[in-house]
Amino acid sequence: MVQPNDVVNVVTFIDEWTRCIGSGYQRDSLYRFGKFDSCSAQWNDIKVALKAKAASDPDEAKRLLEQTHYKKNLGSDWKVSPTAGVVWDLKEHPGWDAE
């Protein structure tokens, strides 16, 4: 059985790959590291996401997704953000929760 989008959203991984191969990201990579990014990690994430999408067990699909480059290094989890503590400071409570 194919997993629903709330378990595995392949579009997220395709979006991340297209961001990586984009000219702006590649320009930044060339400036920062002196070379273009091959985007192989993002391409591998797409393959893992497709495998997870086809998995019959939702727990197996989630386990596969936890191993992706996106989940380990990027994603929406601020605890693994590459800019947390460098560009911006972590807060215990977001500003919109202030009374």
Q: Which two tokens stand for residue 65?
A: 């997704």
pTM of the predicted structure, to 2 decimals: 0.72
Q: Which two tokens stand for residue 14?
A: 């395709």
Q: What is the pLDDT along the chain (99 residues), one digit of tens a residue?
A: 688 887 899 999 999 999 999 999 999 889 888 999 999 999 999 999 999 999 989 999 999 999 998 888 776 666 666 656 655 666 677 677 665
> What number of helices (H) and strands (E) belong to the chain?
5, 0
Question: Could you tell me if 51 and 61 are in contact, meaning their C-beta atoms sit under 8 angstroms apart?
Answer: no
